[in-house]
Amino acid sequence: MVQQHYQAYKNNSVNTASPGELTLMLYNGCLKFIKYGKKGIEDQNMELKNTNIQKAQNIINELMVTLDQGSTIAKDMMPLYDYINHLLIDANIKNDLDILMEAYRLVEEFRDTWKEVLKQTRTREYKQGVQA
């Protein structure tokens, strides 16, 4: 019963999230899956490792596909996303924690930057709403 309520809450969170919040959720999910992949490597559980690193790759691929190619920042982000994707592939093939953690650090940096952008956007929108 608790699991059903939690799942309903998660579904509602996704359905009501702004595009910016959805991007943040993707970054957080990617980090979670990389952590599980790390655990799989550490425990020599190849199924856990492979499944979760592939989930992280799927998120990076989704971020690449949905990146607004018309924006100037896209030209800087796309090669970084591609690099992260290659790191995940290499880490999965080689069972290499160092490579996997490099991917983690890059995704974490994207996530932290994105959180700050959302915070500044909300602050600016709030100030504009107060002044109106």
pLDDT tens for each residue of 71-130: 888 889 999 999 999 999 999 999 999 999 999 999 999 999 999 999 998 888 777 766
CB 60 within 8 A of CB 88: yes
Size of the chain, expressed as the number of residues it contains: 132
User: Is the pLDDT at 5 greater than 90, yes or no?
Assistant: no
- Name residues whose C-beta falls within 8 Å of residue 110's C-beta, 6 or more positions apart in sequence: 27, 80
User: How many structural domains are present in the chain?
Assistant: 1
Most confident range, picked from 54-58, 68-72, 117-121? 54-58
Residue 130 located in a structural domain = no
> Quick count: other Cβ atoms within 10 Å of Cβ 114?
17
pLDDT score at 131: 63
Residue 55 maps to a domain: yes
Q: Which residue has the higher pLDDT, 35 or 132?
A: 35
- In this structure, is residue 128 part of a structural domain? no
Q: Which residues constitute the domain of residue 54?
A: 19-120
Q: Is 6 a domain residue?
A: no
What's the confidence (pLDDT) of residue 19? 87
Please report, for the domain that includes residue 69, its CATH number: 1.20.120.340
Tell me if 132 is assigned to some domain: no
Nearest to 111 by CA among 21, 15, 10: 21
Residue 14 forms part of a structural domain = no
pTM of the model: 0.84
56 domain residue, yes or no: yes
Contact 87, 102 (CB under 8 A): yes
Q: Is residue 82 part of a domain?
A: yes
| Exposed/middle/buried for residue 63 (C-beta within 10 Å: 0-12, 13-18, 19+) | buried
Task: Return the pLDDT at 127.
Answer: 74
* 6-46 confidence digits (pLDDT tens): 455 455 555 668 889 999 999 999 999 999 999 999 999 99
| C-alpha distances in Å from residue 115, one per residue of 96, 111, 122 | 29, 6, 11
